[in-house]
Structure 1
């Protein structure tokens, strides 16, 4: 089997499992159901993954890795100049589209995290935040950004990420219940979230000047 078909099968298993875990719950979803829904054999699933725990772990780790990458992309493209830092635009163009495209794994992670005995200890929403915060600290140092690390985890979880994740998980159902237009609700959420963000975050350097891109040690062509 060539590499491309292998990757296609692996992705199909992951996508199918993610959808089923979100719809039916991890405990209620077995390998049999994943195989049947994906239209493949159980033995093929076990060829790629030892258990459904490993499937779930892979889904979560991929989500964490992608989150850190998009955070770095946003930072690299907005922090070079304060005039480019537009939290509303970042939310609309990057953060919300990314999180909405990962709604299932976010829902699964929250569900598993509130269990008295999580299915797998490393599937914990706080692990996601911890790794994101570590990435934040590195980027803050890189761009000389003011960052109160003492309260970063507390503020980051309850004031920044929890509202975003709640919106991602419940926005569709909320709009259905209250008969609202999702686009209008999203625009209102972005506006109100941005107000809160601006009250709590000051995206300026420690010396009050515009944020500068980090100095690199690479030589330019003129130095050669």
Structure 2
């Protein structure tokens, strides 16, 4: 018999995939339990309802997004700012390419948010944090005199929006040079920001 932590992890992994592929409405706790290899009544030990599972998974996804957008400034300098910005985008693109389910499930949550203020509020918080992380990074770049202070908020938000739209296009399966697009966006912003 599996221990509780392993079973809970398997439930979350299975729900993540099923919700992304079938949507919330067409995925039942019975389907998740069957795929995990437990009975439907056993799943209630972990989650009292499908809604609770959906909310828990959403909280996990939001936490992961927040952590992935917490930038480490310790190794950013005047000479490597461009390279570090490129790496941030490339890492995001690579992560998206390796997880075909993320945008699908995230879009499910966006649809849910259109009907549920609790989810909308949380999505807006995630979005605000995402934009702030880029703005903080640019503010740090000004502090170390890597860029000028001219329009840094707009430039930071532009990069955040570019990488967000790259992930939306990746979801559709469009075959574009995403890393090249990111590079052009970074170079454009830094060209206009040069001291």
| TM-score, normalised via structure 1 length | 0.65
| Runs of 4+, deviation exceeding 6 Å | 202-205
1:170 to 169, 172, 176: 172
Q: Greater Rg, structure 1 or structure 2?
A: 1
| CA displacement, residues 56-80 of structure 1 (integer Å, 9 cap, x when unaligned) | 223232223223323335x436523
Residue number in structure 2 paired with 1:213 = none
Residue number in structure 2 paired with 1:9 = 7
State the superposition RMSD in angstroms: 3.5
Residue number in structure 2 paired with 1:191 = 180
1:95 to 92, 97, 121: 92
Alignment check: 8 A CA contact 2:82 2:186 kept: no
2:164 to 138, 161, 164: 161
Give the deviation of 1:49 after TM superposition: 1.8
**Unaligned regions of 5+ residues in structure 2, if any?**
none
Q: Distance in 1 between matches of 2:111 and 2:104?
A: 11
Alignment check: 8 A CA contact 1:14 1:59 kept: yes
1:136 to 123, 134, 137: 134
Distance change in 2, residues 1:67/1:76 (3 Å): farther
Distance change in 2, residues 1:141/1:67 (3 Å): same
The count of residues paired between Structure 1 and Structure 2 equals 187
Q: Distance in 1 between matches of 2:162 and 2:114?
A: 26
Residue number in structure 2 paired with 1:107 = 104
Residue number in structure 2 paired with 1:26 = 24
Alignment check: 8 A CA contact 2:20 2:101 kept: yes
Alignment check: 8 A CA contact 2:66 2:126 kept: no
Describe the SS at the equivalent of 2:38. coil
Give the deviation of 1:15 after TM superposition: 0.5
Q: Distance in 2 between matches of 1:193 and 1:51?
A: 41
Give the deviation of 1:37 after TM superposition: 1.5
Give the deviation of 1:128 after TM superposition: 3.0
